Chain A
């Protein structure tokens, strides 16, 4: 009997949010009814989200894509012979030839959407655990030097050189050290961390293990937001099978070095994405931001030296240890080395995950990849880098996507999220929301953030209500300045950035709304 035809149907949250489970059930049932020998594999998502649920069929060595597929399409697809790559209105050709994917440089996301997320064999067959194997033959200093030389900078938003953090932890003597993964991906417009955890969880396990080996930490925590139930389940399952196979435990692969991992579920506080607040939360406390110094690298979790990195930073480590610092560094521009995972979201025709070497222009991402707005209307603004990032005006769309050049126009790359708005957006309302969100999520420790954000909402309401417009606009700028310079952490310190960008680039939207003061 011939081998079963493999049909790949994503189990990723977004694919499932559009009906992938029903498609998987329909494919299995319809194939059975027809006596077709089919094996359904639940892979992760390729990140071509406008095509989800994206179904792939392996024909020979080539995966052919069909999408977006609904359960109702399944019978017609089988009629059209999709099990042998047959033509159908939903046929997209070989997956790897789809332009959106072909133009990408997938290093961190090399396996995402390709493999069965929880198959350790699949992971290893696609290059997994080669980085750890190399790391186990190196000294801590050599591993840290490799990460430093690669030019990797923190992908969570702050872009601090990863190797420098590691070096500090390595150099700090302590009987216990920790590795903490910040998987509290709370920024709107971002989903790359979730994709890694749901679609290639072992790469994060491996990255954290390498970090532990490098600095002599024996325990790691993955702090995952409660809004990501599937990521939590997938990470827990991956850790369990990695432990069972000897990739985690008291002697990793017989090396005599110990590393254990545990998933901790967050509880819906945005501020816990800030690293010191996250550490407080892991310790079982309110997520209140800590004063720095001391740095977490010196006094972190439970007062011990702690590596705390974002999911994408840690997930980039295995490829660096596998292929070397020079390989990774050969991508990118200036001081932005390697790849950035752009997450294109909001009002955009082709939203999804785009991993690229740094340096592509924002306009190329928005129009060549994204195809413009979903509604077909002109794009009026793009919020880059999450809710604390500026709204980028169309006159700035030619800016190359890298840390320094974005900073030069008052914007930030952050975690790589881009949220697109068409020309129906009311930017005054967006400015108000930035302050409102800060008020809801402020930890309350410092006054500029706790009080300033509440006052910010009130002042914006007054401006929009036509009350002392000139004086209140000046007051709003002054308030933003106080928050930026006086806040303890990035929440209060950056929440004014979207507001300032609206003041600078979309002032007409802050004007009084003709006779209609905005209700709260």
Chain B
């Protein structure tokens, strides 16, 4: 079965081949793809499967198992709001609703202008200064709605 080439195919193949010899290479390869493209496109599944000599089902199974891998292009930035207990004790439920309302999207969605994706996260290890959010890889502590406005400004 042939299929149309997608623009990232060659790049994905190179990323997969670069680490294929490592033991347990699948997660590192998926991370490398997501680091480069911002997501793991569906078109990556058959390529990675072929390089690692796995079935497509096995690769798809891994991509879909892990919350961190996403299969759609995210917004320019991703806002992760912590939903775990320490943050709950300091008002994260209210912060969560505020973030949803402010961005006008629910979890796992991206704003219409493509600026932000909103994701839940279960603990950032910032629990002594709750509630916490993370924008891409930057963590913020003691976040109030006002502070969230500043962070997203």
A residues near B, CB below 8 A? Answer: 13-14, 16-18, 49-50, 52, 185-191, 193-194, 226-230, 264-270, 281-287, 302, 343-348, 351-353, 374, 383, 387, 417, 419-422, 425, 430, 433, 437, 440-441, 443
Contact = CB atoms under 8 A, between A and B. Distances in A.
A227 to B, nearest CB: 6
Given A17-B132, A347-B89, A287 B127 contact: no
B65 A287 contact: yes
Nearest to B85: A188
Given A269-B65, A433-B88, 15 more contacts: A14-B125, A14-B141, A17-B140, A190-B123, A227-B123, A230-B137, A265-B31, A266-B68, A267-B30, A267-B66, A284-B25, A284-B27, A346-B86, A421-B89, A437-B84
Nearest to A187: B123
B78 interface: no
Most chain B beta-carbon neighbours within 10 Å: one of A187, A228, A267, A343: A267
Contacts of A346: 85-86, 89-90, 127, 130
A284 B26 contact: yes
A18 B125 CA distance: 14
A345 B90 CA distance: 10
Contacts of B88: 430, 433
A230 B90 CA distance: 24
B90 A374 contact: yes
A420 to B, nearest CB: 6
B153 interface: no
A267 B92 CA distance: 23
A189 B23 contact: no
A185 B125 contact: yes
Nearest to B93: A429
Contacts of B61: 286
5 residue pairs, one from A and one from B, having the closest CB atoms: A351-B128, A284-B26, A268-B68, A188-B84, A345-B127
A204 to B, nearest CB: 15
B127 A267 contact: no
A430 B26 CA distance: 36
Most chain A beta-carbon neighbours within 10 Å: one of B65, B122, B132: B65
A230 B122 CA distance: 17
B85 A433 contact: yes
B69 interface: yes
Contacts of B7: none
Nearest to B140: A17
23 contacts: A17-B139, A189-B84, A189-B85, A190-B123, A190-B127, A191-B126, A193-B125, A226-B68, A227-B134, A230-B137, A264-B28, A267-B27, A267-B66, A268-B67, A269-B65, A284-B25, A285-B58, A286-B65, A302-B23, A374-B90, A422-B89, A437-B122, A443-B65
Contact of B125 (A13, A264, A286, A425): A13
A284 B129 contact: no
Nearest to A351: B128
A17 B65 CA distance: 30
A227 B127 contact: no
B15 interface: no
B20 to A, nearest CB: 11
A352 B126 CA distance: 10
B74 to A, nearest CB: 14
A187 B86 CA distance: 10
Interface of B: 23-28, 30-31, 52, 58, 61-62, 65-69, 80, 84-90, 121-130, 132, 134, 137-142
Contact of A16 (B23, B25, B62, B139): B139
A285 B23 CA distance: 12
Contacts of B127: 188-191, 343, 345-346, 351, 417, 419
Nearest to A228: B125
A16 B90 CA distance: 19
A422 B124 CA distance: 22
A420 B89 contact: yes
Contact of A352 (B65, B66, B122, B128): B128
B24 A282 contact: yes
Contacts of A422: 89
A191 B122 contact: no
Given A18-B141, A419-B86, A270 B68 contact: no
Nearest to A232: B137
B24 A269 contact: no
A50 B27 CA distance: 37
B51 to A, nearest CB: 12
A267 B85 contact: no
Contacts of B58: 285
Contacts of B89: 346-347, 419-422, 425
Most chain A beta-carbon neighbours within 10 Å: one of B23, B124, B128: B128
A417 B68 CA distance: 24
B126 A17 contact: yes
Nearest to A373: B89
Nearest to B80: A227
Contacts of B124: 13, 227
A286 B122 contact: no
Contacts of A420: 89
A193 B124 CA distance: 12
Contact of A284 (B62, B68, B90): B62
A471 B59 CA distance: 44
B31 A387 contact: no
Contacts of A270: 122
A13 B126 contact: yes
A96 B62 CA distance: 48
A52 B129 contact: yes
Nearest to B69: A267
Contacts of B87: 188
A269 B86 contact: no
A268 B85 CA distance: 17
A63 B5 CA distance: 62
Given A17-B140, A302-B23, A345-B86, A267 B68 contact: yes
A49 B125 contact: no
A26 B58 CA distance: 51
